[in-house]
Structure formats: C-alpha cells, structure tokens
Structure 1
Amino acid sequence: MNRFDVEDFIDRSRISATQIMALLVCVLVCFIDGFDIFMIGKIAPAIAADFGETSEAMTKVFVYQQIGLAIGAFSIAPLADRFGRRFMLMVSCLIFGTITIGSIHAQTLTQLAVLRGIAGVFMAAGLPMAMALISELTPKRKRSTLISLALVGFSTGSAASGVVAAWLLDSYGWESGFWIGGLVPITCAVLLFLIVPESLKFRAERNPSDQRIATTIRKIDRNVDLRGDELFVIESGGAKGRKAKLSDVFSEGRLTMTALVWAACTLSMTNTALLSAWMPTFFLEMAGVPIQDFAKVAMIGYLGGVAGTLSIGWLMDRMRPALLIACFYVMLAVTINLLGWVPFYSAFFVVALLTWQFFQTGGQSGLNTMIAQVYPPRMRSTALGWAGGAGRIGGIVAPIAGGFALAQHYSLQLTLALTAALPLGTAILMFALAYIRRHEEAKDREPVTLAH
C-alpha cells in the first residue's frame, strides 16, 4: 500500500478554509469556557443577595464548580484520545449548555452549587480538546501562534462575562449570564457536527486505513494526489494504530516533565481560580469598590490578556518555552502585589490591571501551548486534560482560602501579597523545567563514541 504521511502533509500545506472554520469554532469553544469560569465570580455578590445569603455563602458554589472541573479534566478529556476530539467536544458542549440553562431554575444556593459542579465536569473538557484539535489540524510552523489565537477566545470570554456584571445585571438579573453560558455551547455542538472535521492525526493513529482521512485531506488540499490505496501514517507513529493509555504521560522519560508541568498547573490555576472567583468581591468588601465599577475596568484589562496571549504564542515559536513562561510568572507575582497598593480610581490602576492580565493570561496560555506541543498526538488530549485536572485540585482549595480571607477581614494588600506566592512558585518550577530540558538537549547532542 502507498504510505501517506499525514503529519508531513499538514506541516507543508497552506492554511485552508476547512482549517480556518475549525479554528473559529474552537475559538468559540474557548470563548464560552472563559465566559463561564469567570462569570460567576463577577456576579457572585448579586447571586448571593438574590438567594438571601452573604457573599461568603458563594464559597460552596465555587468549590462545587472546581470539583466538577477537576473530575471532568481527569475523566472526560482523556476520552477524546479514545473516541475522538470532535465527538467528545460535541457531547461536552451539548450537555454543559443544557445544564447551564437548567441552573436558572435552582431554588437554593446549594442546588445551584450542585448544578454548577455537574456542568463543570463537561466544561473542563472544552479547552483541552479544542486545543488538541487545533494543534493537530495546523502546520507546525504556525502552531503556537494559532493556538494562541484560539486562546484569545478564552480571554474574550472572560471580558464578555464582565458585560453581564456591568450592564445586564441590573436589567435582566444574574440569570442573563446563564442564558448566554448555555446557548453558546449548544451552538458550538451544532457547528462542530456540521463543519469541523475530526483530527487527521487521531484517525491515523487509531486506524491508518480509515478512508475518512482521505475525505478531509481533499478538503484541505483539492490538488493532493490520492490513489485510494493509501495507508495513512504519522512520522512518529508508523503504520500500526496505537491506543492511548493514561500511563503514557509518565512513560518514555516523561515522568519528571509531567510532574513539573502538573505542579506548575496546580499553582497557576489555583491563582486563577482564586482571583476569578473572589477578585470583584475582594475589592467590594476590602476596598469599597462596587462590582459594576470593577467589571467595567476589568473589561479594559481584557486587552492586556489578548496582548499577553498573542505575545507568548509568537515568542514561543522563537524562544525556549519554559524559560519564557517562567519570566511571565515572575512578572505576574509583581503585578498582583501592585494591584493592592494602586488607588482603584486612578489611571495607573488601569495600567496595573492591563499588566496583570497580560502576564496572567499570557502565562497560562503559554503553559497550555507548551503541553500541546511536547506530548505526541495519541496522548495530547489526555496530557492537557490531566494537567488541567491537577490544576483544578488547587482550584478547589482556592475558593475556601478566599472565603477565609473575607471572614478574617484581611486587608486587600495582605490578601494579594499572599496570592502572589502562587505565580512565584510557578516560575520556580518552570525555571527547573527549562534547566532540565536544556540539559537533556545538550546530552542528546553529545557525540557517540564507539568502544574498540
């Protein structure tokens, strides 16, 4: 049979309309992921008040959501390495959207917390599966940049959730955010079914004789010469299909790398979960800033997040990823501290907020992009999902810590200074990974001497 290298085909092909459409749909998936994760934190005081509870009572909603996100990252995302990125992404979007709309009818905060937890199981799978799909449908020379473009959707979703707090909350209530958060993923499921192809690399590794691969290849390049007897392979996979195993992320010398990546994700996502859940409430309770005012300024910060995501994607195509990410997290620790000392209504606070979002969003985007690149296709969704799952475990503790800070009446400066320790720890782990990978590369370059 004629061997056809799928990986080489993708890397040398021009970006086609099929790939652009897949990218746009994945951007929309990332958008709703960012929207839903950050939405609750921005309207938390309003939700609590509507149920006749204090702001601290929202802790259980945040905790249940994070538990669901952790479960989903460990369980749903790996299924994409067995049943396909596109199929599992469709299922996740459909179920998540339906549960989110159903959450509007919750009668108590406990009911809302349980529903957010169940929805979180399927929400967690969206980002890693979308990134895996993009990384396997795009050429290597532009992969980091295109993944970063998709992650801009995540930042855009975070900013869009501020619209709910700033303008929709007073007129339409907190339920307006849940309507948006439910209808968009259902729309994504429909678009995935209609216009997005399955990953070629996934299909080639599962079944090299799958003729559906030829159909997608012709959509990407109409001029490609296929005779009908092709055996579709990828450069590192050979002709025999390989099923992903959960243990693969630790095998073949990956144990140290995976351990460092998981630890970094845990600290990074704990920081993100803490600030996304409680930042507006911290400024309301500790500095007297109304949530509507904070939401409006936070939307300006969105520009910093976009710039950070695009910058790190562009830089990662040209620099050592782990070292670059470490530098981002050092600066993130500095800017988190800065937010506690700059007067909120000053112009400098906007600059500080833009800088904070630049390094926070850019750093997490860099981590995700690096994971998508260093693991082979057969385990890519598993690697992204499990790294995210490790991060979600820290996210379970973060809301509790935020509620504790409020209950103890900590100052804003002390609260943010303690929070800054998380990105500083992430930076140390990334410096360690950069050192190890550089040492391994130098060892691989050493000439082999033959014994006489």
Structure 2
Amino acid sequence: MAETGSGERFDVAAFIDDRPIGWREITTLVVVSIVLFIDGFDMYFFGKILPAVADGLGVTPAGMAGVVTAQQVGMAIGAFLMPPLADRIGRKPVLAICLLSFGILSLWTAYSTTPTMMAWLRGISGIFFSAMLPISLAFLAEMTPRRRRASFMAIALVCFSGANVASGAMTAWMLDIYGWQIGFWLGGLLPLLGLPLLLLVHESLPFRVARNPADPQIAATIQRIDPQAGVIGGEAFHLGEKAKPVEQKGPLAMFSAPYRLKTAILWCACFLAMGNIALLANWLPTYFQELGGVPIQEFAKYMMIGFVGGALGTLSMGWWMDRVNPHILIATFFFVDALAIASLGFLPVGTVIFVIGLVVWNYCQVGGQTGINTIATLGYPPEMRSSGIGWAGGSGRIGGIAFPAAGAFALQAMLPLQTIMVVIAIPAVLVAVLILWLGAVERRSPGVEPQLEPATA
C-alpha cells in the first residue's frame, strides 16, 4: 500500500485483504450470519407447514399452489429490483428496508383468512426477503480479506441453511401447540428484532469507492477501522490494480463483453438449481404425506437430521473453494445431488439408509448452491456485485415459479413418488454440466480478476 496523505493513492482492496482477522471482521460475519438466518427462516418454513395451513384455510394442499406461485413471483421481482438499489444507495439501508418490510408483512400474514389474502401477502413479502441473500453476501465479500472470503461466506450460509433446521424444529414441536400461525409470528418477530444489529457494522468500503472515490466517509471509516492506516483525508481511493475498468455503469454492465457469456451460464444454472430447491422446499413434505403416507411432523424430524448435511456441505464447500478448482468441485456436488434425489423415492422411509440419503442430498444441494452463490458474488466488481448475484438469483426465482407449479401438477396428477423424484434429479445433472462449461469460459476470458483461485493463508 502506498504512503498516504493528501492526494496520495490508497488501495482500499489491499487495505481489506492485508488486514488480520480481528473483531471487526468477526462482527461483520456474525451480523451477516444472523441476518441470513432470519432470511432463511422466512424462506423455508412455509413449505414445511403447507398442509397445516391448507387445512386451516379450508382447502386441499394442492389448493395452495397459488400461494406458492405468488411467493415465488414476489421473490423473483425482489431479486431483480432490490440488489441494484443496494448498488446505488448502499448495502445497509436496503437490508434495513427489507428486514422491516418483511417482518411487518409476515406478522400480518398470520391473520390471513383465505388463500387469496395469503397469496398477496406472501407475494409482497417475497420482494423483500429474496433480496437479503445477494445483498448480504455482497456486503460480507467486500469487507472480508480475500484469503478467507469463501470460508466466511460459507459460514454465513450455514446460518442461512441452519434456519431450515430451526423451521423443522418449529414444525415438529410447536405446530400442534400453536397452530400454523406460529411460523408467521416467528417469521415476523425475528427480522424486527434483528434490525438494530445493522448499527454494529460499517457500510461496505468497496461499494463507497466504486460509487464515489471522493466520498469523505471512506477516509472516516478507514480511520475508525484502523487508526494506524495513515489516512488523513484527501487520498485518491481505488480498488486494486488488476481489475479492468467497467465502461458501462449499472446492472446492465454484467452483459458487457467480459461478462456476457458468464452471466448467461450463471442464469441458466441458477434457474435449474434454485428451481429445484424451491420445488423440494415447498412440496417435498407434501409429496411424502400425500403419496407416501408420512405425516409432515414425522417427516420434519427426518429432515432435521438431513439438514446437518446442508451445514456440512456449506462449510466444506467454502473450505475447498479456497484451495481447489471451484468449477470441478461444484459440478461433482451436483452430480451426487442428482443421485441422492432420485434415491429418496425408492428408499424405505424411516430407515437408516433413507436418513443417509437425506443427509447426502442436503450436503450436495446446499453445498453446491453455496458454490454457485460464491462464484456469482466474487465474479463481479463492486459496482455491480449486488446486482450480479441478485439477478442470477432472480433467474433462479423464475425457476422457483416454474418448478413448484410443475410440482403442483405432479401432485394433482398423483404421479408415483418414485417417478417424481427421478424427474427432479435431472436438473441437477444439467447444473453440473453448466458449471463445467462456466469453468472453461472463465479460463479463456481475461475479464475482471474473478477472485476464485485458491488463496494462500
């Protein structure tokens, strides 16, 4: 880093990367992890209690398809709308807007009296809670030293998937006592309680530099983080020396020449991967109840064990991505994911081998999606990072509309459970192929430095 003073150049990227892991980095990780846990709870709990909600509203589970679709439409809108706003006004204010909004809307949803009312409320809520993941990951990536970036993101995503475990525990032990409304009460209170945590962290420095290198808040923030950095104000702040300048501004820059093909492949991979996640999150407990005769409370207990695999998959993905070729790693996860999904339709429920199948499926599905999220986050520069991962996620939310709709059709048609699970496995194979293609494209493209090479400690 150059000597600083009025008019001197100051590399903010080097300042962040050269810092040891201290209490400020840990605080950022903890805050982002809690925010993602809150977001994950709101995203995952509904599918687990869907049959109970349907019974409470006087319809069949298939009659809730409109609510599932509205939620996914709202999530798609939010993924395209909110991350570009975070690239314009900042990570923290948009996260605050999202927490406040979906907290209030979730509490309101607890008082729904018809599927139509619930569909509107879940649809609007989806606009806000779908944006939390890309914005939070962009924020964490930008404020974490490169050598620990993938690992920190993996830890935060463990908390996101850990909310899956929490929602499973809620279903198994609180649903019969408090009724289906308990999910929405908890889903509303948690974000409101988490809102003050944003006061503990600084706004992203790379975001501020990308937006306006002359922003006086940059020097003030650096001085608070490290008084020994030698910043006195008036420095020419910049982000690294290797990244090529982005000529086009705004989220459409991801379609410029260095990023165009990568963006298209990421969108296709997210469409398939997140479509499958949405399908299984919303319909898998119902499939096993309606087609396999397994009560949702009992299935939730099996899933809680299976979710351990998701946490392990996320942590191991983050660890390995700091050390080995990420594209081969992610593709391997999705090939095994496909085998695990198909096997669930044939394994006897309640046996040890069935629980192992759930663990392997969660390990590969959650770990593989962690890898995709990391590639999407670190593959774009700060001025479009939130938009890059957000819009890739938006394509996934479109898959989240199409796939659950197809899942509802399969339920209405009463297709055999084995047939449904084999068909669901096919997109995972396609994702693996796309990720291998993406790796070949990035090896040939000079683009921005992707920050995905194995880093030394």
Q: Which bracket does the TM-score occupy, shorter chain normalised? A: over 0.9
Q: 1:204–1:234: 8 Å Cα contact kept in structure 2? A: yes
Contact 1:325 1:367 survives alignment (8 Å): yes
Matches within 5 A, 1:209-228: 209-228=214-233
Equivalent AA in structure 1 for residue 149 of structure 2: R
Range with bigger deviation, 147-156 or 317-326:
317-326
CA distance in structure 1 between the aligned counterparts of 2:249 and 2:143, rounded to whole angstroms: 19
Please list, as runs of the form range in 1=range in 2, the aligned pairs for 1:128-147 lying within 5 A after superposition: 128-147=134-153
Q: 2:365 aligns with which of 360, 363, 373?
A: 360
Q: 2:54 aligns with which of 48, 54, 72?
A: 48
Moved more, 274-283 or 225-234: 225-234
Q: Which residue is 2:176 aligned to? A: 170
Q: Does 1:251 align with 2:256?
A: yes
Q: Which residue of 1 aligns with 2:28?
A: 22
Distance 1:426 1:237 in 2: 30
Question: Deviations for 1:324-358, whole angstroms, at most 9, x for unmatched residues?
Answer: 11111111000001111111111111111110000
1:122-201 alignment to 2 at 5 Å?
Answer: 122-192=128-198, 194-201=199-206
- Map Cα deviations across residues 18-45 of structure 1 (whole Å, 9 max, x no partner): 2222211111121122211211110000
Is 1:265 the counterpart of 2:262? The answer is: no
Matching of residues 322-361 of structure 1 within 5 Å: 322-361=327-366
Q: Does 1:121 align with 2:127?
A: yes
Helix, strand or coil: the match of 2:237? strand
- The normalised TM-score by structure 2 is 0.93
Q: 2:156 & 2:70 partners in 1: Cα distance?
A: 27
Contact 1:152 1:310 in 2 (8 A): yes
Tell me the residue number matched to 2:4. none
**Distance in 2 separating the partners of 1:270 and 1:10:** 35
How far apart in 1 are the matches of 2:319 and 2:71?
A: 33
1:172-196 residue CA offsets vs partner (Å, 9 max, x unmatched): 111111111111112232211x211
Look up the SS of the partner of 1:232 in the other structure: strand
- 2:97 corresponds to: 91
Q: What TM-score results when the alignment is normalised by the length of structure 1?
A: 0.94
Cα distance in 2, alignment partners of residues 241 and 19 from structure 1: 28
Alpha-carbon separation, structure 2, partners of 1:251 and 1:285: 48
C-alpha change, 1:86 and 1:306, in structure 2 (3 Å) is: same
How far 1:314 sits from its partner (Å)? Answer: 1.0
AA matched with 1:438: R
Within the candidate set 426, 433, 436, 2:431 is matched to: 426
Moved more, 179-188 or 416-425: 179-188
- Contact kept, 8 Å, 1:208 with 1:232, in 2: the verdict is yes
2:380 aligned partner: 375
1:8 to 2:14 alignment? yes
Contact 2:219 2:232 in 1 (8 A): no
C-alpha distance in 2 between matches for 1:346 and 1:439: 47
Quote how far apart the aligned CAs of 1:420 are.
Answer: 0.4
CA contact (8 A) 2:258 2:445 kept: no
Deviations 1:213-259 (A, max 9, x none): 22322333232222233222211599x99994121111132111100
Equivalents in 2 of 1:180, 1:381: separation in Å?
28
Cα distance in 2, alignment partners of residues 195 and 55 from structure 1: 42
- 1:114 is paired with a residue of what secondary structure? helix
TM-superposed deviation, 1:323 = 1.9
- How many residue pairs get aligned? The number is 440
User: What secondary structure sits across from 2:9 in the alignment?
Assistant: strand
Q: Distance in 2 between matches of 1:119 and 1:243?
A: 32
Give me the identity figure in percent.
45
- Give, in whole Å, the separation in 2 of the partners of 1:163 and 1:254: 42
- 2:47 is equivalent to residue 67 of structure 1: no
The alignment partner of 1:383 has SS state of: helix
Q: Distance in 1 between matches of 2:268 and 2:366?
A: 18
- 1:232 maps to a residue whose letter is F
Structure 1 residue aligned with 2:117, among 111, 134, 149?
Answer: 111
Structure 2's unaligned 5+ residue stretches are 1-6, 450-457
C-alpha distance in 1, partners of 2:193/2:235? 35
Stretch moving more, 214-223 or 111-120: 214-223
C-alpha displacement at 1:436, in angstroms? 2.2
1:310 equivalent in structure 2: 315
Query: Of 325, 346, 357, which residue of structure 2 is paired with 1:320?
Result: 325
Q: Secondary structure at the match of 2:20?
A: coil
Q: Could you tell me whether the CA contact under 8 Å between 2:92 and 2:203 is conserved in 1? A: yes
